[in-house]
A and B are shown apart, each in its own frame.
Chain A
């Protein structure tokens, strides 16, 4: 089995694919107290696909992303990851989280650990990998994100872009099946945005399955296989990027794109 989905199949929304999706979300509802922030969300993500989630602020993009590894709980609906329904809690849930990497807007590197320790902690504690092996792998990953020389630095001594690349490497250290990105470049200066997007683009080319909440339309256009547009807690449109950006297909999406510079 190859790890990449044929681009054409991925471009078909809800394409008749003979393989089950890696992530299947059906009828997902989410409430915060009395307010409903996700309304009956359906989404399939196939192995090797890059899905960009875009939409105005407060539309529920982060919430959807966080529901996929249950950092946020859901009210109704189902999420199936790699054939198994998302467990409620306990060791099953932890196993799932170990296989679904997450990259946050604010990096969230462990502040009291060096870069290499950040990359080793979970593999050693959660996967039970030997220290030496974990260290070896950590160096390899740092090489991959261009930060081999920062192995013994503390997060606070790194630039935002460097921290985010370390955060990506930390997620990769668990050898995840799926990576979730919640606005990974929104806290960064333009210069650093480019270096982080560069790493993410390379990951996409390597066949990693990625769900990326982003305001970087250039990235969505060039790297994503599909763009998902959300507003008011609903998915209003799912389309291949070319199609979405030329014919948004929904008045709200049109209005949203009109607010963005240079799209």
Chain B
């Protein structure tokens, strides 16, 4: 047990780092994903095509491969920046593809009459999107978004595999090497992940109830 109890700070820092990676990834992925979704439903054909190709390409590469590509591949072409942000970039680009599809599903769920009413009032594509469609689409994607956020958090553990040893799984591996108590160390890490997941699920449920657009 002392693997955990004697190193609460190490474990705590790992948790904090994991949350940081996850938060940065999700925010960046949300921004890119939203942009992609706008492209995907825009009346401009090349934009639609670009977004479609992006989504289907990025979605079919395993995240670990994408991470390795960024962390070990980019320096080869002379592109070097902090490991943290390299990892976050790779993850954000990856999750953006899923986010885009989630947003698009939400947009599809908005009745076409809403768009027609907005267009009939003389609103521009951007106004229809920003004031009518996206706010409603996001409301009905709270749950799938939460699932995505959970996936982002859990898969942030892959960062350890490309050298971000400061995050939760990385720290756990180090502790395990020191104490050789995998049941305790990885058990504790698992509990942490479960708690985070439960918290996200709970928050989403509350948010969903608050925002649900019943029709």
- Measuring CB to CB, which residues of chain A are less than 8 angstroms from any residue of chain B? 69, 71, 94-102, 104, 106-112, 121-122, 125-126, 156, 167, 170-171, 174
Contact = CB atoms under 8 A, between A and B. Distances in A.
Contacts of A156: 213-215
- Counting chain B CB atoms within 10 Å of each CB, the highest count among A108, A109, A167, A174 belongs to A108
A111 B122 contact: no
Interface of B: 111, 113-114, 116-124, 127, 131-132, 135-136, 139, 213-215
A184 to B, nearest CB: 13
A70 to B, nearest CB: 9
A112 B135 contact: yes
Contact of B114 (A96, A111, A126, A174): A111
Nearest to A118: B117
Contacts of A121: 121, 131-132
Contact of A109 (B117, B127, B214): B117
Contacts of B131: 121, 125
A71 B120 contact: yes
Given A94-B123, A109-B117, 10 more contacts: A97-B120, A104-B116, A104-B117, A108-B113, A111-B136, A122-B121, A125-B127, A126-B123, A170-B117, A174-B121
Contacts of B136: 110-112
Main secondary structure of the interface of B (DSSP, over half): helix
29 contacts: A69-B120, A71-B116, A71-B119, A71-B120, A94-B122, A97-B119, A97-B121, A97-B122, A100-B120, A102-B120, A104-B116, A104-B117, A108-B114, A108-B116, A110-B118, A110-B132, A110-B136, A112-B135, A112-B136, A112-B213, A121-B121, A122-B118, A122-B121, A122-B122, A125-B131, A126-B121, A126-B122, A156-B213, A156-B215
Contacts of A111: 114, 136, 213, 215
Contacts, number: 68
B169 to A, nearest CB: 40
A201 to B, nearest CB: 23
A228 B214 CA distance: 38
A111 B118 CA distance: 12
A99 B122 CA distance: 8
Contacts of A101: 120
A171 B117 CA distance: 9
- From B113, B121, B136, B139, residue with most partner A Cβ within 10 Å: B121
Nearest to B139: A112
B116 A174 contact: no
A121 B117 CA distance: 12
A95 B114 contact: no
B215 A94 contact: no
Nearest to B43: A89
Contacts of B213: 111-112, 156
Contacts of B118: 110, 122
B12 to A, nearest CB: 40
Name which of B114, B116, B122, B213 has the most chain A CB atoms within 10 A of its CB: B122
A-B complex: 7 closest residue pairs judged by Cβ atoms = A98-B122, A122-B121, A108-B113, A108-B117, A102-B120, A97-B122, A94-B122
A94 B125 CA distance: 10
Contacts of B122: 94-99, 122, 126, 174
